């Protein structure tokens, strides 16, 4: 297939590029670098099956030649207002990527009669009142809260994708991605995995927001990419959760990182930095991914964190 992938210079986008190329596809990457990084694509510069277009997906998209698939991953993704790369500091950009960007990529897919895959998120469930989260849960989202620019853009995009599927015959897919981590995340976008690992490698205490009892379920990037690839090849048009169902509190997660890095600086509590709308509990129900795609994660947390720590060490120039 010849595939357009928006958000190609980001964390997930660059790993997806690698997988799609390894599977023998041709990839056209698109990104405007608002949160992404050229370094993530440097290794592909000489790959004859990879081309790159610098472009903002909120503007009309033109790609020369026939496309067989369009994957829309372009969007800021960190909720942390302390980082300039967090979506609270890019509110209009985030809403545009998840509205105009979705229109533009859907239209391109339709014109090309290409299959389409949208990168949605567990944030469509908001601060969930049902646990674990199944795809049939409608969510608990504050439409004007501090995460609303992201949550509502993704919810709007899902509605738009389903409208194109139901009324325009578009061949669409929606993946609801739960917290994913691994090499190539920005160290400075404020998400918990790169923040904690960087702090630990610098022998600093890890910054715990709130009481640290909130939970997340962390998926290693290779597992996620495999689930997304299977969904792309499938004929499933309703949303599918992809994530690791092993749930951990942020406190336990921090202790694990300190243990794996040998950091003795402990924890630094920021009870007031509890971000508004910060989901209390999050864990995917992956029954649909298991039955429809034959997928489940293979990399456990310690193994994944060990790989991520090694890659961040290298990024920080440490041996």
**Binder to ligand NAD among 179, 217, 244, 261 (CB under 6 A)?**
179
Between 103 and 269, name the residue whose CB sits nearer to ligand NAD: 103
Q: CA 113, 114, 115 angle in degrees (round to 5)?
A: 130
Does 57 engage in binding with ligand NAD (CB under 6 A)? yes
**Half-sphere exposure for 51 (CA within 13 Å, toward CB):** 10
Between 70 and 193, name the residue whose CB sits nearer to ligand UDP: 193
Residue 20 CB, nearest approach to ligand UDP (Å): 25
**Residue 7 interaction partner, one of ligand UDP, ligand NAD, none, beta carbon < 5-8 Å per kind:** ligand NAD
Which 113-152 residues touch ligand NAD, going by CB under 6 A? 119, 121
Sites of contact with ligand UDP (CB under 6 A):
78-80, 179, 191-192, 195, 207-209, 214, 216, 250, 275, 278
Residue 129 CB, nearest approach to ligand UDP (Å): 17
Read off the tokens for 242.
């992809």
Does 76 engage in binding with ligand NAD (CB under 6 A)? yes
The reply to whether 150 belongs to the active site is yes
Region from 1-9, 161-169, 205-213, 257-265 binding ligand NAD, contact rule CB under 6 A? 1-9
Residue 122 CB, nearest approach to ligand UDP (Å): 8
Residues forming the site for ligand NAD (CB under 6 A):
6-7, 9-13, 31-36, 56-58, 73-77, 97, 101, 119, 121, 177, 179-180
Catalytic residues: 150
């Amino acid at each position: 297939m010849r595939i357009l992938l928006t958000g190609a210079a980001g964390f997930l986008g660059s790993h997806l590029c690698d997988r799609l190329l390894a599977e023998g596809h041709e990839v056209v990457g698109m990104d405007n670098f608002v949160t992404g990084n050229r370094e993530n694509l440097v290794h592909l510069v000489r790959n004859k099956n990879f081309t790159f277009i610098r472009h903002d997906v909120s503007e009309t998209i033109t790609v020369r030649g026939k496309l067989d698939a369009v994957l829309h991953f372009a969007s800021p993704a960190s909720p942390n207002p302390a980082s300039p790369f967090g979506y609270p500091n890019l509110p209009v950009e985030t809403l545009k990527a998840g509205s105009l960007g979705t229109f533009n990529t859907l239209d391109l897919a339709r014109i090309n009669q290409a299959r389409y895959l949208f990168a949605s998120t567990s944030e469509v469930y908001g601060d969930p009142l049902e646990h674990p989260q199944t795809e049939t849960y409608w969510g608990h989202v504050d439409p004007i809260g501090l995460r609303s620019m992201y949550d509502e853009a993704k919810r709007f995009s899902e509605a738009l994708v389903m409208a194109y599927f139901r009324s325009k015959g578009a061949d669409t897919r929606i993946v609801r991605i739960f917290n994913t981590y691994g090499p190539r995340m920005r160290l400075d976008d404020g998400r918990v995995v790169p923040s904690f690992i960087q702090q630990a490698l610098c022998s600093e205490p890890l910054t715990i927001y709130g009481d640290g009892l909130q939970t997340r379920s962390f998926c290693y990037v290779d597992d996620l990419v495999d689930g997304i690839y299977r969904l792309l090849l499938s004929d499933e048009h309703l949303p599918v959760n992809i994530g690791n169902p092993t749930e951990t509190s942020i406190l336990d997660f921090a202790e694990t990182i300190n243990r794996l890095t040998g950091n003795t600086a402990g924890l630094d509590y920021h009870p007031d930095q509890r971000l508004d709308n910060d989901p209390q509990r999050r864990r995917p129900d992956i029954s649909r991914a298991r039955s429809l795609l034959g997928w489940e994660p293979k990399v456990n947390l310690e193994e994944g964190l060990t790989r991520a720590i090694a890659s961040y060490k290298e990024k920080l120039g440490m041996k």
